[in-house]
Amino acid sequence: MSPTDHAGRRRVAITGIGVKAPGGTTVDDFWAAVLAGRGLARGLTRFDPAALAVRIGAEVDGFDPAAYCGPKEARRMDRATQLGFAAAMDAVADADLPPGLDRSRAAVLAGTGVGGLMTLEEQVGVLLGRGPDRVSPLLVPMMMANATAGTISIHLGWTGPNLCIATACAAGAHAIGEAVRLLRDGSCDVVVAGGTESSQTPTAISAFARMGALSGRNDDPGHASRPFDAARDGFVMGEGAGFLVLETMEHAEARGARILGEVLGYGRNGDAHHITAPAPGGTGAAACMRLALADAGLDPADVRSINAHGTSTPLNDASESAAIADVFGAGRVPVTSTKGVTGHLVGAAGAVEAIAALLTSRDGVVPPTANHEHTGEDITADVVHGAPRTTGPGPVLSNSFGFGGHNASLVVRAHTEETT
């Protein structure tokens, strides 16, 4: 296999993946839940939401952080760090990296929207209720956004670049894309990159609800997240983490690694329009997708499907559909959104959905968009719904767009005999 791509740059192999998400704490369970196309939101269980206007979310079940680091260390981590650390360790185990790895050329890039919000909110309650002398001395290392990146780096002993990306809902995708750039430019041989988030707190839920961003379907949570549907009324707050091990193709082949796929292209730009609303007509998103395609050396017709940002908000879905039509033509490429199943994983979304895109490419099957019953009149995209759709293996594009006008698009392709 050639170690360089169409532009003479180092190719970037995916050699390990790990997921902690609603529907599964293993890659296989997660993928089965996504293919089943059933919304997993329910009433929130980690605090009493009775006083809140929105009382639903999509939670990660069956997750024991102590299994990864012991109970004492787990208690010193915010839940977002626990999820991210565990997903990263799963990815590293999946990659089966050699013990003689040059740790000075191994990097960590972790994305998040807000970091340890759960711990911060809890400790503000302690401050107000019990006084400043009772605030935990662990608050700062537990709440800081870079805690996940630091924890992974420390545990692995990797002394290469150790970075945190905080670009809201695009953070996980940006972490992967910036990792690709580190590998291409020769700064590193190996990077573990992804995103994590757990911000299901009373304050966060209330704030998003006050913005009008959340679905208010408290009486029917399983059908609340409905991307691109005519009756969509907002997103569902999820939680989770996704991480990938990326290597230069040369490094991966030299050690005899099992190669799962490649990151072919990465685009990122800014809307420069509004702190929470997308650019009119999805112009920023369209430009971002074009950047990713150009980076991959592909034409729009080469893309088998799109894993959309698809949040289930009226504004985002209409804007993204317009952007897709601008780049690919209206209804010309199958589009799905896994957020119908998982809810919105915020800073983890781009990484978890990049993994979903890789699995879509591997199996040649596009998962259905959960709860999509009637396509909105403002949607021109060919939204896959009802059942998975077979497209065959090939490149898949994954979009992530965040508050602040942060846009990221990734093009991934699974490894097959045809791609060698």
Are 166 and 221 part of one and the same domain? yes
Let me know if residue 419 belongs to a domain: no
Decide if pLDDT at 244 tops 60: yes
Distance of CA 303 to the CA centre of its chain: 20
Which of these three, 191, 221, 254, is where a domain ends? 254
Based on the domain organization, do 248 and 274 belong to the same domain? no
Residue 7 within a domain? no
Tell me the average pLDDT across 88-102. Answer: 97
Q: How many domains does the chain have?
A: 2
pTM confidence score? 0.97
For residues 267 and 213, membership in a common domain is answered with no
Q: Decide if 115 is inside a domain.
A: yes
Q: Tell whether 341 and 199 lie within a shared domain.
A: no
Instruction: Please give the pLDDT value at position 2.
Output: 81
- The tens digit of pLDDT for each residue in 171-187 reads 999 999 999 999 999 99
pLDDT, mean over the chain: 97
If asked whether residues 307 and 248 sit together in one domain, one would say no
**Largest distance between two CA atoms of the chain:** 64
Active-site entry in 174, 251, 309, 406: 309
The answer to whether position 360 is within a domain reads yes
pLDDT of residue 270: 98
Residues 409 and 357 in one domain: yes
Domain shared by 245 and 273, yes or no = no
- In a domain, residue 117? The reply is yes
Residue 4 resides in a domain: no
Residues 147-154 have a mean pLDDT of 98
Percent of the chain with pLDDT over 90: 98
Annotation marks residue 169 as catalytic: yes
241 and 336 both lie in a single domain? no
Same domain, 250 and 269: no
**Residue 1 scores a pLDDT above 90:** no
User: Which domain covers residue 341, as residue numbers?
Assistant: 263-414
Are 236 and 293 in the same domain?
no
Residues 281-337 have pLDDT tens digits of 999 999 999 999 999 999 999 999 999 999 999 999 999 999 999 999 999 999 999
Catalytic residue of the set 344, 385, 406, 415:
344
Is the predicted pLDDT of residue 420 greater than 80, yes or no?
Answer: no
87: pLDDT confidence band, cut at 50, 70 and 90? very high
Is 309 part of the annotated catalytic residue set? yes
Q: What is the pLDDT of residue 115?
A: 96
pLDDT, tens digit (0-9, with 9 covering 90-100), for 387-415: 999 999 999 999 999 999 999 999 999 99
What was the pLDDT predicted at 395?
Answer: 98
Q: Could you say which of 169, 174, 223, 288 is catalytic? A: 169
Read off the pLDDT of residues 120-146 as tens digits, 9 standing for 90 and up: 999 999 999 999 999 999 999 999 999
Whichever domain contains 277, its CATH number is 3.40.47.10
Does position 356 have pLDDT exceeding 70, yes or no? yes
**Same domain (yes/no): 169, 294:** no
Residue 2 lies in a domain: no
Domain boundary among 199, 232, 254: 254
Q: What is the pLDDT of residue 419?
A: 59
- Residue where a domain terminates, one of 254, 288, 303: 254
Determine, yes or no, domain membership for 6. no
What pLDDT, on the 0 to 100 scale, is given for residue 215? 98
Whether 16 and 132 share a structural domain: yes
